[in-house]
Structures are given as C-alpha cells and as structure tokens.
Amino acid sequence: MIKISSRSLDDLEFPVIRQHISELCVTGLGKEKALEITPYPTYQKTIFGLNQTNEYVGSKHQEKPIPNHGFDSVAQEIKLLNIEGAVIEIGGFRKIASIAETVNTHLKYFQKYAEIYPSLSETVSTVEFNKDIPEKINSVIDRFGEMKDDASTLLQNLRRSINSVKGQINSSFASALSTYNSYGYLDDIRESVVENVRVLAVKAMYRRKVKGGIMGNSKTGSIVYIQPETTYQYTRELNNLEYEEKEEIKRILKELTEFMRPYRENLIEYQELLSDIDVIAAKSKFAEKINGVLPKVSKDRELHLKEAYHPLLYLNNKRKGEKTFPQSIELSPDNRIIVISGPNAGGKSITLKTVG
C-alpha cells in the first residue's frame, strides 16, 4: 500500500489540485468529496480510477454521451425517513423521484454500453435498478411539484367541489354587482379586492341597503367595501373545502413517507453514486483543461515523462498567455538518480513537483 504524508501532498500542491476539481463539480456533495481526494493506495485502484476518468473523457466523442448526473441533495429527506412520525413535503418527494430516475437512467445506459465503459459500468453495478420509487411518487405528484387531483378519491371529489363552489362565488358576485349597480348603490369603481376577496364598492349612504359583510372602507370613508351575502356563504363553504383539501394532502404525504421508509438506504446509495460520478466527471474536465493523457503505470521502479507539464504551472501560464516549457525525464532501474542544479527560480522545484 502506498502512503504519502500530508506534508508531502502540501509540498506537491495536491490540495490546490483538489480545489480545482471541486470547482468543476456540479453537485454540493461532489464538491465536498473532491476536497477529500487522496492518492490511490494500491496499483489496482490507481488503474481503475484512471480508467474511470479516461472513459468519461472518451464519452464526449460517442454518438450518445453519458447522461446528466446532476441532482438536488436529499440529505434532509434521508434524515426525516429516520425519524418516526416525520413527514416529507411535496418538494422533497419531487427531489427523491428525480434522483431515482437519474440513477435508473445511468444504470440502463451503462448496462447498454458496458463494452465501451467497463470501469464506469462496474462503478454503477453495486446499485440496484428500482422503478417502484419514481412510479409511486409520480402517481400522486406531477412533474411541477403539485399534488395530482387523482392522488386519492377524496382529494379528487374535494377539488371538484372546490371548483364548483368557486364558480358559484363568481356567478353570485356578478349577480349582486349587476343588481346593486342598477340601483345606483355602487361607486364608479364598482368593485375592489380586500384581503384577496372581491367586494362591492358601495357608496357609504347606501351601505345598509346592501346585504353582506363589511370588509372595510376607503380612506375618505365615502366607500364601504361589502362582500355580498350569498357570496359570503359560498366563501365559507370554500374555506371549509380548502381546509379538508389540505388535511387530505397531509394524509397522502404521510402515507407516501411511510412507503419510502424502507428505501432510505437506496437514497443514500443514490447520492453516493451520483456524487462519485460527479467527481469522475470533474476529473475528466480537469484532464481536458491541462491536455492530460492516460498514463501507462508500471509496477517496475522506472519513470518516463515525455514533454510533461506541471498542471498548475501550465494553467497559470495559460491564463496569462505565457508559454510553458515541457520537461522530459527518465529514470530506470539502472539509472535511478538525477542531480538537478541551477539558479534560484530556475525550475528545480517545478521539476520535482512535476515528477511528484
């Protein structure tokens, strides 16, 4: 097992490399993981990690590239599933359905193109395809994050009644408006809105002639705002129906939360997988920025770098429009020592960092 001290990693500016990769991630969990990257401890893991990145780089040249892996964190929802009696909100379920669908898309993709992406296919192989989660959530919550009318029979009936009562409110208000306006009881503006309720703009002198509830008056007192009596009755009925609707939505969300509890570990796996893919994708972006190539790793005590750059020096000079001079270095079992000499700021440290 290879072990490199944290001081050596600092000298090699490895934390700066991690920061660059973190900035190229698109998910919060991916950014956090990138900042925790450490050198691979074994030859096998090194080869596997390099192949993952190389396959992701090559995917951009394929006819059908790797699907988008972005996701919204469901960490809060995972916590709630571990708390008895806690209920996940509609927005949380929309995120859960989305991350489940994203994982399923990746599983199907890498299963189909396993020959092209053997390492990435192995990476996702530990996660099981699950259609129950998105199907259950999508059966009651639409893609806009709204509870579907047919999420339950009761909810469907309530919303039909709500729509009917809203129609009665509008027709009763229109009738009262027409009637009292013909009597000359209304001000020129005829109507207004008070506390999100349509009201008649009644001249103060006629306020006792209009049946209904007083909702307020104008600053001058010349206009009294009245909700027609019939409209008021329908409004009360609407309030009761909307309360019952909210209670039914709460019941459905509670039921859906209970359904999701056995899948808590699946959600943890989903976040882990997609954040791992996010880091791999970020590595591939960084590799492209530095014009990186897949190295051939040898178990022998030898090193052969041909026209190699220190990645940070290369990026810094590229940003300033300056040329970076490559270095070719070779060490072999018969020639394992190189003496580097030269003036200060002559490139000795850069050479050492390039070799690593």
Over residues 72-93, the mean pLDDT reads: 96
Token pair of 88 as six digits: 């996940």
**CB neighbours of residue 289 within 10 Å:** 14
Please state, in angstroms and rounded to a whole number, the distance separating the CA atoms of residues 251 and 144.
20
Over residues 85-114, the mean pLDDT reads: 96
Give the N- to C-terminal CA distance of the chain in Å, as an integer.
Answer: 17
Please state, in angstroms and rounded to a whole number, the distance separating the CA atoms of residues 211 and 234.
14
Confidence check: pLDDT of 337 > 70: yes
Q: Identify the residue whose tokens are 């394992």.
A: 336
| Contacts of residue 29, Cβ cutoff 8 Å, sequence gap at least 6 | 73, 75, 271, 274, 275, 278
Q: Identify the residue whose tokens are 């009665």.
A: 168
Token pair of 107 as six digits: 């599983």
Of 56-70, 278-292, 321-335, the one with minimum mean pLDDT is 321-335
Determine which helix (DSSP H) or strand (DSSP E) holds 212, and give its type and residue range. Answer: strand 212-217
Report the chain's mean pLDDT, rounded to a whole number: 92
Spell out a b/e string for 206-241, using b for 16 or more CB atoms within 10 Å of the CB, else e.
bbeebebeebebeeeeebbbbbbebbbebbebbeeb
Please state, in angstroms and rounded to a whole number, the distance separating the CA atoms of residues 112 and 180.
71
All structural domains of the chain, each given as residue ranges with its CATH number in brackets, are: 6-131+257-289 (1.10.1420.10), 303-355 (no CATH)
Please state, in angstroms and rounded to a whole number, the distance separating the CA atoms of residues 176 and 169.
11
Confidence check: pLDDT of 350 > 80: no
pLDDT (tens digit per residue) in 116-138: 999 999 999 999 999 999 999 99
Q: What is the pLDDT of residue 71?
A: 96
Over residues 162-189, the mean pLDDT reads: 95
CA 160 to chain centre: 34
In this prediction, residue 347 has a pLDDT band, given cuts at 50, 70 and 90, of low
Confidence check: pLDDT of 348 > 70: no
Which one-letter amino acid corresponds to residue 6? S
* Higher-scoring residue by pLDDT: 30, 326: 30
Token pair of 172 as six digits: 């009763």
**CB neighbours of residue 53 within 10 Å:** 22
What residues pair up with 217 in beta bridges, in sequence order? 224
In this prediction, residue 317 has a pLDDT band, given cuts at 50, 70 and 90, of confident
In this prediction, residue 1 has a pLDDT band, given cuts at 50, 70 and 90, of low
Determine which helix (DSSP H) or strand (DSSP E) holds 216, and give its type and residue range. Answer: strand 212-217
Furthest-apart CA pair in the chain: how many Å? 112
Please state, in angstroms and rounded to a whole number, the distance separating the CA atoms of residues 129 and 125.
9
The answer to whether 327 and 356 have CB atoms below 8 angstroms apart is no
CA-derived radius of gyration, the chain: 33
Could you give the residue ranges of the DSSP H alpha helices within the chain?
Answer: 6-11, 14-24, 28-34, 43-59, 75-81, 90-112, 118-124, 132-138, 153-182, 229-260, 264-289, 311-320, 348-355
Confidence check: pLDDT of 336 > 80: no
The answer to whether 247 and 84 have CB atoms below 8 angstroms apart is no
DSSP-derived secondary structure for 51-100? HHHHHHHHHTTSSSPPPP------HHHHHHHTSTT----HHHHHHHHHHH
What φ, ψ does residue 213 adopt, rounded to 5°?
-100, 130
In this prediction, residue 346 has a pLDDT band, given cuts at 50, 70 and 90, of low
pLDDT (tens digit per residue) in 4-58: 888 888 888 899 999 999 999 999 999 999 999 999 989 999 999 999 999 999 9
The answer to whether 31 and 22 have CB atoms below 8 angstroms apart is yes
